[in-house]
Amino acid sequence: MQRVLVVDDSHLIRSSIAKSVERFSDTVVVSGTAGNGQEALEWLERHYADLCITDVRMPVMDGLALISELGRRYPWMLSIVVSSYDEFDYAKMSIELEAIDYILKPVDQTKLNKALEKSVAKLQAGRLQQAGELFIRKLPHHRMVMNKWLEHIQTLRTETMPLLIVDTLELLKDWVGEKYYLLNALSMCWLQTVVEELHDSKLAIELEEGTDLGLGDKRIETANIRFYFRLCAVRRLEEGAHRLVESMIAAKEGQSPKVIEDIKKHIAGRLAEKPSLQELADQAGISRSHLANIFKQQTGTTVNQYIIAERMRAARDMLLHTAMKSYEIADRVGYEDVIYFSQLFKKHYGLAPMEYKKRMES
């Protein structure tokens, strides 16, 4: 998700541009607005943005001065200029300040869409390039972690994958320093390298960057930037690991039967109840032993282990996205004994629930 700051001294124009931006795509959102450059800089001290759309002529601080300051203070941000003035000097200065585009008012939706497309593409390409350069420098010193990923995927060791993902995230976090916005691109570099190094396994897989809808609000405060980007990276690594394991199973055993997908859906709807193997077998219309065998073959884990893993995933999401206590979460995912729940969570993620939450928020 790309977050936009709209700056114009006219409230009506700010509102109009904001609406036009949000018509472009669900993954580009307006996080804030400001009436001049100074207000924009004050807003950015408290909030995060990827892109600034600014007028040229404004009181206190004009748009060109603002873009210059953004380049100095927030070098990851890109800018689009909108103006009522079709003047060569303004356009020339905007280009010199590396603005993506110079659009005349009233803002045409098609022209704005093209500028936003160009901006999103440049943001993604720039971050992938930075992440790639960082990855090439750092990976040779951390081959052991990469080798663990290869081993886990090749041997279908799904039970310790969550802990490995947490360890990998800590490693990537150290690599990026304060540039948390690189975590997502760095996660993609990591996953793509895993795919490339498993080429002899004949994996049929193309990793998609995915979306982060639901992981963060439109407006993210500065204090929450690290938590948000870490959460995005965790989702990317988890989704990638899941796809890799599925592809490895398909390469070894053939296409996964539809019955397994139906069983997974049934489990997802009854997590708090922990459906029995017999109930699941009845649902699928097969014997218990046959279900146990094919489930293990196609997923690399037992039905019981899969249910525990799904419960822990649901618990982790509640832990990070709500203010619920451990005992409340335990009850939601089917555990009356909160101590036993905490032990399972620690075994799965390597940390007790509240320790995990603190680690993610630190």
**Which CATH number covers residue 39?**
3.40.50.2300
In a domain, 241, yes or no: yes
Under the phi-then-psi rule, with left for phi > 0, alpha for psi from -120 to 50, and beta for the rest, what region is 179? Answer: beta
The parent domain of residue 337 ranges over 258-361
Give the pLDDT of residue 255.
45
62 found inside a domain: yes
Do residues 239 and 285 both lie within one domain? no
> What ranges make up the beta strands (E) of the chain?
2-7, 28-34, 51-55, 78-83, 101-104
Identify whether residues 154 and 208 lie together within a single domain: yes
DSSP state of 221: B
Give exposure, 22-34, as e/b (b: 16+ Cβ within 10 Å). eebeeebbbbbbb
Say how far apart CA 33 and CA 171 lie, in whole Å.
Answer: 36
As a whole number of angstroms, the distance between CA 239 and CA 207 comes to: 9
Same domain for 234 and 290?
no
**How many separate domains does the chain show?**
3
Q: pLDDT (tens digit, 9 = 90+) per residue, 50-93?
A: 999 999 999 999 999 999 999 999 999 999 999 888 777 778 88
Dist. CA 278–CA 263, nearest whole Å: 12
10-residue averages of pLDDT along the chain (362 residues): 94 95 91 96 96 94 94 95 81 85 91 95 93 94 93 85 92 94 93 84 58 69 91 90 80 62 85 83 75 79 88 90 90 91 90 87 74
Q: Which helix (H) or strand (E) holds 127?
A: helix 109-138
pLDDT for 40: 97
Query: Which CATH number does the domain housing residue 348 bear?
Result: 1.10.10.60
Q: Residue 118 falls within a domain, yes or no?
A: no
Spatial separation of the C-alpha atoms in residues 190 and 196, rounded to whole Å: 10
pTM over cut 0.85: no
The pLDDT of residue 197 is: 87
| pLDDT at residue 202, as a whole number | 56
Residue ending a domain, among 253, 287, 308, is 253
The DSSP 8-state label assigned to residue 5 in this structure reads E
Question: In terms of Cα–Cα distance, which of 98, 21, 76, 25 is closest to 53?
Answer: 21
